[in-house]
Structure 1
Amino acid sequence: MTISTPRTGLGYPDLRPLMSEMTGDEKHSFAATSTLDVLWVLYDQVLSVDPQRLDDPDRDRFLLSKGHGPMAFYAVLAAKGFLDPAELAHYGEFDSRLGFHPDRVLAPGVEIGSGSLGHGLPLGLGVALGLRAAGRDRPRVVVLVGDAELDEGSNHEAIQVAGRWALGQLTVVVVDNRSSSTGWPDGIADRFAREGWATRTVNGRDHAALRSALTDTHPDRPLAVVAEVESKELP
């Protein structure tokens, strides 16, 4: 496949048309659209990342733990110049860089290979600890997870450790479409707060609220932002 130079200048209204270019994984369309607004606000207003400096050691790190259905992620990367929008039509094809799960070795701007749920937050914890060990206290590590993914035991452990070790560089965004089989009787934010995290709960479609929550960081506490979206059962 011939890959041309990515173009920039695309905005939020372009995202759904870009997503419509990607076919073959429609069963994960809801997983993709549930993350769309969070991803846009992160890349448009919050993260310090640059497609011209992919390996900048002081870049922010974004880890998409909710890696199934990455169409919104790819659309945002294309809008921000990391990918050529022409590649989106080849999503999932044999020689495409854009697989049904993102691959950090293939796709520029992708920090981890993901899709098997429960790994992103522990990986983010490790990245934050690595930055701390290297003396780099500026870059943020932002992990996007789904609410059902928090049922994984690996996430329980990562939440505890990050809170105990006061990893202020770490932020978790939980896209909550109420798909957890066990649910969270006291709310997702309470689960994090009990382990020493700063927490915010916002409408996951409200860009101003998302930006306010995502920039409300604390140097001595990790941040959990619960982004509530429509229930998974809705069309």
Structure 2
Amino acid sequence: MVLTGMMESILSDYQCSRLRRNHYHMLIQPHLEMFKLSSGDGDTSYGFNIMLRRCQRLRHLDLSYLRTVSPPVLIRLIPTLSHVTVLNLSMTQAMDQVLGLIGHHCPELRELDVSNTPITENGLTRLCYDAQQDRPLCQHLVKLSLTGCLISAKPVCFLLQYIPTIRDIDYDDIFQVFGVMRQWGLTEDNLQSCNKYQLRILNSTNEFVDPANVDIAIALCPYATVRRILLLILR
């Protein structure tokens, strides 16, 4: 926490708004548990490589908006994050293989942000399910941000089946996920026999929301205390 605070203090100083290499050497130590690196922090590639070599105990890592880090480098990073609980990769070059590695190497992960990244539906499936060993992954995940990702409701529904304890999925049309369940055979007759989900927020930015999907969502998510429907009216 002290080293993290020192880094933030340096960046907040208008006379020293970019970290230099000697700053990275001083601040990035093996016992560091929280780390944030952004595109404006000086020689980010140099700082990233030091973090990769030294930090094996990270629990909070924020690389948001760091587009200079290529997919191969992220692929090298993820296996070193066995203790991470909060990971922010929004606006990075994170791809499907990165999500698959997160599923296998980050068992303690609770919050993941991959909003506005090039991930696909295959990557979301690999995050929550190991097809070779037929087992679920990321069982401690409680929050997932997918805003801006080009993903249909089907893999989000798949994820909800394998991580039913997840509480917050930031997805542009969560109600369509329950529409997929209807397509898979969910009806009012068998609704009561289904397991309930832990989702706390039900969101939609779609211009049309099927009322039947809303009814099912409310029935299967009894803990949802905030139910927002944002209708976008196209003019």
Fold match (TM-score > 0.5) = no
Larger C-alpha radius of gyration, 1 or 2?
2
The two structures have a TM-score, normalised by structure 2, of: 0.34
